[in-house]
Amino acid sequence: MDDADAAPERPLLHLLNAAGEAGLPVLLAGRAAPARWNAVLPDLASRLRATTAVRIGPAEDGLLRGLLARLLAERQLAVAEPLQDWLRLRLPRSQGAIREAVARLDRAALAGGGPVTRALAQAVVAGLQGDVAVRFPDDDVSANTGSNACPEPDRLL
pLDDT digits (tens, 9 = 90+) for 19-68: 999 999 999 988 889 999 999 999 999 999 999 988 787 788 999 999 99
Distance separating alpha carbons of residues 130 and 33, to the nearest angstrom: 28
Q: Does residue 112 sit in the same domain as residue 85?
A: yes
**Which comes out higher in pLDDT, residue 31 or 123?**
123
Pairing state between β 27-30 and 52-53: unpaired
Per-residue pLDDT at 27: 93
Domain that holds residue 115: 61-135
pTM score, whole prediction: 0.57
Q: Is residue 157 part of a domain?
A: no
**Secondary structure (3-state) at 59:** coil
Q: Does residue 70 sit in the same domain as residue 115?
A: yes
CB 85 within 8 Å of CB 119 = no
